[in-house]
Structure 1
Amino acid sequence: MDLKTATAEPYHAMKIDDPDKETCTRGRRHGCCSAVWPPSAQNDWCFVAMILTVSLLLTLAIVLVIGLTYHEPSYSVDLTDYDGIDPGGAARIVSPSFNVTIRMNNTCVDSARVAVVYSGVALGWARVEPMDCAEWRWTKDLGVVARGGGVGLSRRLRDRMASDWSSSGALELDVSVVMYRVGGQIGTDIPRTFDGKVKMIRDQMNDRLIS
Structure 2
Amino acid sequence: MGTHKGRDLEATRSAFRGWLEATLADARDVSVSALTPPGATGFSNDTLFFDLDYAGPDGPVSESLVLRIQPTENQVFPDYDLGKQIRTMQLLEATDVPVARVLWYEPDARVLGAPFYVMARIEGRIPTDNPPYHVGGWLTEASETERETLWWSALDALGRIHRLDWRAAAPSPCASRRSSGSRRTRRPASRPS
TM-score (norm 1): 0.24
- The structure in which a higher percent of residues are strand is 1
Larger Rg: 1
Greater relative contact order (Cα < 8 A, sep 6+):
2
- The structure in which a higher percent of residues are helix is 1
